[in-house]
Amino acid sequence: MPHAKILVDTNAYLRLAKTIRPLLFSPFGDNEYCLYILPELNAELRSRNLKSKFHWVEEKEYADNRKHFPSISRVQKRAIQQTFDYLWDHVQSELPGPSRVDALYIACALELDIPLVTDDQDMTALAHAFDAKVMPTLALLKIMLDCGHTDMKTIQSLCDYWKYISDLPANFHADYQRLFTMG
């Protein structure tokens, strides 16, 4: 059965990888959801700022888990490049904020017709402008919960940690209320 691929951006990866292990390339649920990154995430993680704040990303377990990428054909690569060029032109003229890597993630999500997990509001705005499928990290956690890939105790601990380190995703309270509370 083919996997239901989901792309995870850098921020979502950094918020989840220490708790949901292995995070990437590990199918879960009846739909065989499988999370992927793009190789550019590894390049971003080599930056000095991220290395000092997230020293654990260099540990073998995490580095090995980030070696798997979605399969992309030559035709898809050309389409992704064309879509990226169009998106990047739009960013430069209409919507400053998203980075080149952000635009590449959205181009891949569009051309591969797969969802992208991000909490970056500029990236989300760009994705919405081009009808890319996008979801916040909490929505991914809800899918994982519904599939039995994680439990509510783990999600609550993760959310408490994000609060503790002052790294709550955008729209956290509204998304949490919508996704995890009854009534």
CA atoms within 13 A on the CB side of 42: 14
pLDDT band at 49 (very low <50, low <70, confident <90, very high): confident
Quick: pLDDT tens for 110-136. Answer: 999 999 999 999 999 999 999 999 999
CA atoms within 13 A on the CB side of 176: 14
Helix (H, G, I), strand (E, B) or coil at 169: coil
Q: CA torsion, points 58, 166, 33, 24, in degrees to nearest 10?
A: 0
Q: For residue 47, what pLDDT is reported?
A: 82
Which stretches within 54-170 are classed as H helix?
60-65, 74-93, 100-112, 121-129, 137-146, 152-164
Which domains occur in the chain, in start order? 4-137 (3.40.50.1010)
Quick: pLDDT tens for 130-170. Answer: 999 999 999 999 999 999 999 999 999 999 999 999 999 99
Q: For residue 1, what pLDDT is reported?
A: 46
Quick: pLDDT tens for 158-168. Answer: 999 999 999 99
* Positive or negative: CA dihedral 137, 161, 163, 57: negative
Quick: pLDDT tens for 68-113. Answer: 899 999 999 999 999 999 999 999 999 889 999 999 999 999 999 9
2 pLDDT higher than 70: no
48 pLDDT higher than 80: no
